[in-house]
Amino acid sequence: MTDRSKQKNWAGLNFNNSYVQLPSAFFSRQSPSKVRDPHIVLFNQPLASSLGLDSNALMSTQGEEVFSGNKIPEGTDPIAQAYAGHQFGHFNILGDGRAILLGEHITPDKMRVDIQLKGAGATAYSRRGDGRAALGPMLREYIISEAMHALNIPSTRSLAVVTTGEPVYRERTLPGAILTRVAASHIRVGTFQYASSSLGVEGVRSLADYTINRHFADLEGTENKYSAFLDAVIDRQSKLIAQWMSVGFIHGVMNTDNMSICGETIDYGPCAFMDNYDQATVFSSIDQLGRYAFGNQPHMGQWNLARFAETLLPLLSQHSNLSIQIAEDALHGFSIKLKRHWLSIMGRKLGLFNEQSGDLSLVEDLLSVMQNYQMDYTNTLRKLANIVENPESISNQTDFIQWHQRWHQRLQSQAESIESAIELMQSNNPSVIARNHQVESALAAAEQGDLSLTAELIEVLSQPYDENPKNKPYQAAPPASSEPYKTFCGT
Ligand code: AMP
Ligand code: MG
């Protein structure tokens, strides 16, 4: 068979690789290791079209060869990226241990995206790892990252999952798989930490200049562009975490190497959505101290950004005192920005068209009622739109009924009609989220070779604001169980 993937622009792929222009210490050239018997099990047709890719060409034997790393299409320059990171507070030199960046694809509308194969074999940064990934975690990343995208939350995307026909050895022997991940870039807080600790100020400067050019081009030419860059990263990150908080998303492993500079959610390992509202919710089995608990995410976001700001200190000013002042002022802005973003999202979720002085306590009081009575976060907010007149159908607890009266008065005091408030709520409160027990059932079936539940779940989660009868089973809270749900790092 002729290798059509070697033809220029095969399947619409249009590579133009800029990361390899950075100093060579930022990456290692590395081709994927071949796998025995690749099969596409998931393919994201809407994403492919939005990237200008030809789905028919990709959903083929050639496509399987490309998504598995067995064949390298024309124009790629495969690398593993170097980075460092604070993992649960401890600094380590890391790097892509099992992910290989094929290159940067330029879409028809001139967007530049990374196309990366996750689970594509060992690299210079694999340490003791095997460079491989198991099917369950790769499907999980596909399901949840696409669900986040459908919730309008910036996220890396998932283009395909292939099985490799090879086993991977974890606590059990599992089927191996590779995820094709699409991201605005894979530049992390940890990439800056690597530059700072291993390459010094000139390394940080080249990375900062590269990142500004790639993601914050409007800052070129501003007076202190590095300080503006810090502010812009803080702004995107504050908005991102506010969005996570608004849907009950728990990232689970907010190490600095898992925090993308351009403000996308990245690295779906032990992440999960919470059912009952509880600030202390932790799902990850390795997060025993609750460092990355739901309610701690804003604080950890700020901690990570402080590590980022430290790497920029030598660029912020020639005087170290002034640099520290600039960084502290910028970091101080984080919690203010986050709260502002969060309150504006939460206001829309409660059907409020503008902001008034009592709104913060209106939101916070609802959350404390939910916390006190272990109410389901997603379902309670979604139901509010349907019970504007009839709160008892959610709860007959006195504090909830009293809260409801206050909220109802607030709705009546705004100029917009109740009907438009209801519409606003329905388009801001998802009727479905990726619930842990549903995701687990889908993955269990997939491991036995039945992908139908996974496909159906992905379909339902792609329209999270619809009131589709198909959504009903997916709205169910998990069955009562004595064992709290646990997630494991996606290795
Ligand atoms: P994570 O917790 O998934 O963000 O990964 C932390 C680090 O471990 C990154 O440098 C990964 O590339 C690396 N890593 C994770 N799993 C593997 C694996 N199976 N083989 C090699 N490196 C891995
Ligand atoms: Mg990671």
301: its two tokens = 């976001």
Does pTM surpass 0.75?
A: yes
Nearest one of 19, 20, 26, 18 to 202, comparing CA atoms = 26
Of 426, 447, 472, the last residue of a domain is 426
Please tell me the distance between residue 141's alpha carbon and the centre of ligand 2 in angstroms.
12
Query: Using a 6 Å cutoff on CB, does residue 97 contact ligand 1?
Result: yes
- Please list the pLDDT of the chain residue by residue as tens digits (491 residues): 567 778 889 999 999 999 999 999 999 999 999 999 999 999 999 999 999 999 999 999 999 999 999 999 999 999 999 999 999 999 999 999 999 999 999 999 999 999 999 999 999 999 999 999 999 999 999 999 999 999 999 999 999 999 999 999 999 999 999 999 999 999 999 999 999 999 999 999 999 999 999 999 999 999 999 999 999 999 999 999 999 999 999 999 999 999 999 999 999 999 999 999 999 999 999 999 999 999 999 999 999 999 999 999 999 999 999 999 999 999 999 999 999 999 999 999 999 999 999 999 999 999 999 999 999 999 999 999 888 777 888 999 999 999 999 999 999 999 999 999 999 999 999 999 999 999 999 999 999 999 999 999 999 999 999 988 989 999 988 887 757 788 876 55
Ligand nearest to the CA of 99: 1
**Mutate-to-test residue for ligand 1 from 126, 191, 271, highest number of ligand atoms within 8 A of CB:** 126
Distance CA 342, CA 251 (A): 17
Query: Using a 6 Å cutoff on CB, does residue 98 contact ligand 1?
Result: yes
Query: Using a 6 Å cutoff on CB, does residue 491 contact ligand 1?
Result: yes
pLDDT of the residue at 233: 98
Helix (H) and strand (E) counts for the chain? 15, 12
Please tell me the distance between residue 303's alpha carbon and the centre of ligand 2 in angstroms.
17
Cβ atoms < 10 Å from Cβ of 90: 8
Q: What are the residues facing 250 on neighbouring strands?
A: 272
Single-letter amino acid code for the residue at 336: I
Q: What are the residues facing 174 on neighbouring strands?
A: 168
Helix, strand, coil distribution of the chain in percent, nearest 5: 45, 15, 40
Query: Using a 6 Å cutoff on CB, does residue 489 contact ligand 1?
Result: yes
234: its two tokens = 């803080």
125: its two tokens = 């940064």
Please tell me the distance between residue 169's alpha carbon and the centre of ligand 1 in angstroms.
15
Question: Is 205 part of any domain?
Answer: no
Question: Is 176 part of any domain?
Answer: yes
**Mutate-to-test residue for ligand 1 from 86, 87, 491, highest number of ligand atoms within 8 A of CB:** 491
Please tell me the distance between residue 336's alpha carbon and the centre of ligand 2 in angstroms.
28
Please tell me the distance between residue 98's alpha carbon and the centre of ligand 2 in angstroms.
10
Question: Is 462 part of any domain?
Answer: no
Ligand 1, atom nearest to 131 Cα:
20
Of 369, 403, 426, the last residue of a domain is 426
Question: Is 208 part of any domain?
Answer: no
Query: Using a 6 Å cutoff on CB, does residue 253 contact ligand 1?
Result: yes
User: Which of the following is catalytic: 96, 114, 231, 257?
Assistant: 257
pLDDT of the residue at 213: 98
Contact in structure between 349 and 429 (CB atoms under 8 Å) = yes
User: How does 460-482 read in b/e, with b if 16+ C-beta sit within 10 Å?
Assistant: bbeebbeeeeebeebbeeeeeee
Q: Which residues fall within 8 angstroms of residue 195, CB to CB, at 6 or more apart? A: 26, 203, 204, 206, 207, 311
How many Å is the Cα radius of gyration of the chain? 23
Domain hosting 401: range is 352-426
**What is the full DSSP assignment across 285-346?**
TT-TT-TT-GGGHHHHHHHHHHHHHHHHHHHH-SSHHHHHHHHHHHHHHHHHHHHHHHHHHH
Of 134, 154, 183, the last residue of a domain is 183
Query: Using a 6 Å cutoff on CB, does residue 95 contact ligand 1?
Result: yes
Q: Where are the beta strands (DSSP E) in 49-196?
A: 79-81, 84-87, 90-93, 99-106, 112-118, 133-134, 157-169, 173-183
Q: Which residues fall within 8 angstroms of residue 389, CB to CB, at 6 or more apart? A: none
The closest residue, in CA terms, to atom 6 on ligand 1 is 94
Ligand nearest to the CA of 84: 1
Ligand nearest to the CA of 284: 1
Query: Using a 6 Å cutoff on CB, does residue 269 contact ligand 1?
Result: yes
Cβ atoms < 10 Å from Cβ of 279: 15
pLDDT of the residue at 2: 64
Cβ atoms < 10 Å from Cβ of 325: 13
Please tell me the distance between residue 212's alpha carbon and the centre of ligand 1 in angstroms.
27
The closest residue, in CA terms, to atom 21 on ligand 1 is 129
The closest residue, in CA terms, to atom 11 on ligand 1 is 97
Please tell me the distance between residue 262's alpha carbon and the centre of ligand 2 in angstroms.
15
59: its two tokens = 């959903």
Ligand 1, atom nearest to 130 Cα:
20
β-bridge pairing 90-93 and 84-87: antiparallel
Distance CA 191, CA 266 (A): 14
The four Cα atoms 211, 81, 151, 307 give a dihedral, to 10 degrees, of -60
Question: Is 257 part of any domain?
Answer: no
Please tell me the distance between residue 9's alpha carbon and the centre of ligand 1 in angstroms.
31
Please tell me the distance between residue 256's alpha carbon and the centre of ligand 1 in angstroms.
13
Sign of CA dihedral 188, 190, 195, 200: positive
At residue 438, φ and ψ (nearest 5 deg) are -70, -40
Distance CA 336, CA 330 (A): 11
User: How does 22-53 read in b/e, with b if 16+ C-beta sit within 10 Å?
Assistant: beeebbbebebbebeebebbbbbeebbeebbb
Ligand 1, atom nearest to 168 Cα:
19
Query: Using a 6 Å cutoff on CB, does residue 129 contact ligand 1?
Result: yes
Query: Using a 6 Å cutoff on CB, does residue 130 contact ligand 1?
Result: yes
Question: Is 128 part of any domain?
Answer: yes
The closest residue, in CA terms, to atom 17 on ligand 1 is 129
The closest residue, in CA terms, to atom 16 on ligand 1 is 491
Distance CA 113, CA 397 (A): 50
Question: Is 376 part of any domain?
Answer: yes
**Mutate-to-test residue for ligand 1 from 94, 191, 265, highest number of ligand atoms within 8 A of CB:** 94
* Catalytic status, residue 257: yes
Query: Using a 6 Å cutoff on CB, does residue 96 contact ligand 1?
Result: yes
Query: Using a 6 Å cutoff on CB, does residue 287 contact ligand 1?
Result: no
Nearest one of 290, 274, 265, 241 to 367, comparing CA atoms = 274
pLDDT of the residue at 488: 78
Question: Is 210 part of any domain?
Answer: no
Number of domains in the chain: 2
